[in-house]
């Protein structure tokens, strides 16, 4: 009898916050239309001796995202350094949140084309900074630091997603929920929303996870669904032929509709995370949380419910 397979998918979504100024300094977040390397200062260029300071607006916006995604907002969280060398990272480390993120245990309810609803868990959301941009021509490489230290949140889902359609609907629902709060443009075209897909397969009924790959370079929700579909097929074929899935970071090749190996996957300890000594702990007071809750606009889910009730609508919207 043919073996039956099941895919296990988790998505990591990066979302740029439109706070107007960067996360640790007062530089403008308008990085694309400005001349290269004009929206920079000693802080976002990582000069020696300078000190970062958390932009309060970044924290407010991040908390609003946490509320929109039904997360628990932690009273105390902290920043950490993720160390790696890359030309577009001026400090040679990224400030992020490692073991104590500001938001955890959220969820989104998605509706599938069949009408079936499903709850997708959100493990955590953390605040971190964006890198600059490398530009490569045939003979030369350039780097533009305008995007360095742009504020980002990373939204990590639970591995609750099973199909490309569920991934697509999760992203649609997430985009709408964030968009309603007004904290981000959430546009994949503009780069203010980016998604990486973790995919593994296992035999149906098995509790154990298979080895997962992470696919990057996904430029649209459709590309996410297509890449996941391809990756599920590739892994099943590999396993059925007696092979093993390697833990790798892959790039989606849109033109050819295939994933390609970018690098073998690094482990968390390769990054030598340690607590960021230049920033104080993040304390979110109850007053702040209540103020932000009061500022939250009505969500799409609540709006649909209210319209159906108030206007006695018979149509149930599923998009
Ligand atoms: Zn700056």
Domain ranges of the chain: 9-197+269-310
> Is the pLDDT higher at 85 or at 287?
287
Structure tokens at 134: 């490398």
Ligand 1 centre to CA of 281 (Å) is 21
Report the phi/psi class of residue 22: left, alpha or beta, with left for phi > 0 and alpha for psi in -120 to 50.
beta
% of the chain at pLDDT higher than 90:
86
Closest by Cα among 13, 44, 182 to 108: 13
Largest CA distance in the chain: 66
Ligand 1 centre to CA of 154 (Å) is 21
Ligand 1 centre to CA of 134 (Å) is 18
* pTM summary value: 0.94
Ligand 1 centre to CA of 22 (Å) is 7
Q: Given this model, what pLDDT does residue 318 score?
A: 52
Ligand 1 centre to CA of 42 (Å) is 6
Tell me the sheet residues that pair with 152. Answer: 16, 128
- Cβ–Cβ contacts within 10 Å for residue 163, how many? 17
Ligand 1 centre to CA of 287 (Å) is 30
Contact status, residue 167 vs residue 9, Cβ threshold 8 Å: yes
Ligand 1 centre to CA of 24 (Å) is 7
In whole angstroms, what is the distance from residue 226 CA to residue 252 CA?
A: 9
Ligand 1 centre to CA of 97 (Å) is 20
Contact status, residue 122 vs residue 14, Cβ threshold 8 Å: no
Binned at pLDDT 50, 70 and 90, residue 80 comes out as: very high
Using only the alpha carbons of the chain, give its radius of gyration: 21
Ligand 1 centre to CA of 41 (Å) is 4
Q: Given this model, what pLDDT does residue 10 score?
A: 98
pLDDT in tens, 199-209: 999 999 999 99
pLDDT in tens, 22-57: 999 999 999 888 999 999 999 999 999 999 999 999
Contact status, residue 127 vs residue 59, Cβ threshold 8 Å: yes
Ligand 1 centre to CA of 44 (Å) is 4
Q: Is the pLDDT of residue 317 over 60?
A: no
pLDDT in tens, 90-142: 999 999 999 999 999 999 999 999 989 999 999 999 999 999 999 999 999 99
Ligand 1 centre to CA of 179 (Å) is 26
Ligand 1 centre to CA of 150 (Å) is 9
């Amino acid at each position: 009898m043919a073996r039956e397979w099941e895919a296990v998918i988790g998505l990591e979504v990066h979302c740029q916050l439109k706070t107007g100024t960067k996360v640790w300094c007062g530089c403008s977040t308008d990085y694309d239309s400005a001349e290269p390397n004009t929206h920079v200062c000693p802080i976002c260029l990582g000069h020696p001796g300078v000190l970062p300071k958390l932009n309060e607006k970044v924290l407010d916006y991040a908390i609003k995202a946490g509320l929109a995604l039904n997360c628990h907002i932690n009273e105390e969280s902290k920043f950490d350094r993720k160390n790696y060398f890359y030309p577009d990272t001026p400090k040679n480390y990224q400030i992020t949140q490692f073991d104590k993120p500001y938001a955890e245990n959220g969820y989104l309810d998605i509706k599938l084309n069949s009408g079936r609803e499903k709850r997708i868990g959100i493990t955590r959301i953390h605040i971190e900074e964006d890198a600059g941009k490398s530009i490569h021509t045939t003979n030369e490489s350039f780097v533009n630091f305008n995007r360095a230290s742009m504020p980002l949140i990373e939204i990590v889902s639970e591995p609750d997603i099973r199909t490309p359609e569920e991934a697509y609907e999760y992203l649609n629902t997430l985009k709408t929920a964030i968009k309603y709060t007004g904290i981000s443009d959430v546009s994949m075209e503009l780069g203010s929303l980016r998604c990486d897909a973790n995919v593994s397969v296992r035999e149906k009924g098995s509790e154990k996870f298979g080895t997962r790959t992470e696919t990057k370079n996904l430029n649209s929700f459709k590309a996410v669904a297509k890449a996941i579909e391809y990756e599920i097929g590739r892994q099943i074929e590999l396993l059925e032929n007696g092979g093993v899935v390697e833990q790798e970071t892959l790039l989606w090749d849109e033109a050819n509709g295939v994933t390609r190996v970018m690098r073998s996957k690094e482990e968390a300890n390769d990054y030598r995370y340690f607590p960021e000594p230049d920033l104080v702990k993040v304390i979110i007071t109850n007053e702040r949380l209540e103020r932000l809750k009061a500022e939250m606009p009505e969500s799409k889910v609540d709006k649909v419910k209210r319209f159906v009730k108030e206007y006695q609508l018979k149509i149930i919207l599923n998009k």
